[in-house]
Structure formats: structure tokens, C-alpha cells
Amino acid sequence: MPRRIIIDTDPGQDDAVAILLALASPELEVMAITTVAGNVPQPLVTDNALKIVELAGRGHVPVHRGCERPLLRPLYTAEYVHGPSGIDGADLPDASWPPSPGHGVDVIVEACMASVDDPITLCPIGPLTNVATALVKQPAIVAGIAEIVLMGGGFFEGGNTTPTAEFNIYVDPHAAAIVFDAGVPITMMPLDVTHQALVTPEHIGRFRDLRTPVGDAVAGMLGFYERHDVEKYGIGGAPLHDPCVIAYLIEPDLFSGRRCHVAVETASELTMGMTVVDWWAVGDREPNALVMNEVDADRFLDLVVERLATL
């Protein structure tokens, strides 16, 4: 039986690739896509998710609009990385259908409450506002969650938005703190692992060589997206952050890490959104997350290309 998942997302070019990878993988059943303000504001993230679902030819997957701002802080967005649309580089037409009815938070709550006997996996690849709000609104949903596999945070790699904070956690650190304290099994894909999963011009060429609408769109989006990280870090490509979450669900042996306690800084403006990972078990708190720090990058990129070739 396919693993049932909900993708919570703020597309974003790398979010778009993650959504396409999930929709191309028979091991996964995407029950719903919920959107959250992050890389760009609502309703752009919702429009982008709809466009990506239509691009994949998977119109049966419902897309639900979620939260418009973080729990306590002003919204911080990343057009400087993703462009004004969030998915610059691909000129995708507007979707031919609107978002599905129901707020994203309510969709998460209802799906989890109905899944106690067959728990589902939540896949947040944006700020954690929707997931945290669902946990606060109805704490009993933890019984219907098999695992939360998320992209966010960093430790040895530091941050990509502030010296200590990764974007998704920085945008809504209070939500992240709620999620990490919820007592749900968590697998964390931090910058430590996603910065190894680089898409290079060679990989972009492989997408373009597919000669399909999906291949052309992905090549265009990633060609735009990589310019920021190449300029900022002086590396040979752009990290495919969010697809790591989906790849882990398909082939978990691509990744390795260790169980650690993770706390999120919510008080200090200097280190706001820092994920404090007790990698060496020097503290007295029990591990609450499986924190990944290594990926077989070649196999990972091969998987992404091969699966997207089927759409």
C-alpha cells in the first residue's frame, strides 16, 4: 500500500520539484497539498501549487489554502531567491481549477483525526505555521500522525537567512518550537544534508533533455533558482532542499543521521529560529528527532530525474 502523505508547502522552485517528485512516485499517495505563506505570500503559494499539480497531470490532488502569516511575527519572504512569483524561470499558465474548499489547518486536523488506525505522514517543506496551528487546535491529532518529515533548520551549516537560522524555521520559529515539542516522531532534513544535494548545470541539462513540459519547466525554474546560491556560496549548483523530504520517503537509505534532541530558539533576536541540535548528547533531554547529515547526492539526483521523466 502506498504511504499516505500530506504535503505542506510554500512553492518555491524546490518545493515545486518536491511536489512533482511525490506525484511521480507510486510509493506515495498524496492525500492533499496545504499551502502556507513563506517563500512568497498567500495567495501566490496556493496559485503556484495549483499550477504544479496541473503541470504534473494530477488534477485529482486537492490543494487547500492555509495560513497567511506566522503565529507571532511579521511575514518574512524570499523573493530575492525565488523571484516575485516564487517559481520564476517557468512561465506556467494559471490552473484551470480553484483551490479546494476548506482551510489547510482544518484539512490537516480532519485527515489526522480520521487516521488513528492508519496514521499518515506530514511533509512540511515550508514554515511550520499550518502544522503547529493544527497541533494547537486539536492536540489529539498526534495519534493520527505516523511521522513528520520536514525540511528545516541547520546546525553545523549554520543558517541561510541569518547566521544561525534556516529560512523555514526563521519565518515562524514559534510554530517550529511547537512542532518539535509535540511528541510526534520527526525526521529533520537540515541544511547540513540539503547543502550536499546540489543540482548543477549538468542536472538541469538532464531535465531539459526530457523534452517534456515537466522537464522544460523544471529546467527553467532550477536555472533561475541556482543563480542565488552559486553567487552567495560560490558552489557549483543550488541545493535541492525540499525534494530531500520526498526522496527520504521513497528511498530512506539515501540518507543517514542520528537521533538528537532539537530545540528552537524563540527569545533571542540574535539567534531567533536557530535549531539547537544536541548532536553529541551533552544535554539531558531525550532525542525528539532523527537529524540527517549525509546524503548520497548522485543517487538522489538520479532518482529525481528518473521519476520526473515519468510525468
Active-site annotation holder among 64, 82, 195, 241: 241
User: Is 203 a known active-site residue?
Assistant: no
- Contact assessment for residue 105 and residue 194, using Cβ atoms and an 8 Å cutoff: no
Helix (H) or strand (E) holding 277: strand 275-277
Q: Rounded distance, CA 34 to CA 99, Å?
A: 10
- Contact assessment for residue 205 and residue 197, using Cβ atoms and an 8 Å cutoff: no
DSSP 155-178: STT--SSSSS--HHHHH-HHHHHH
Q: Rounded distance, CA 139 to CA 135, Å?
A: 5
Q: Rounded distance, CA 284 to CA 211, Å?
A: 54
Helix axes 297-308, 13-23, angle to 10 degrees: 70
Catalytic residue set? 241
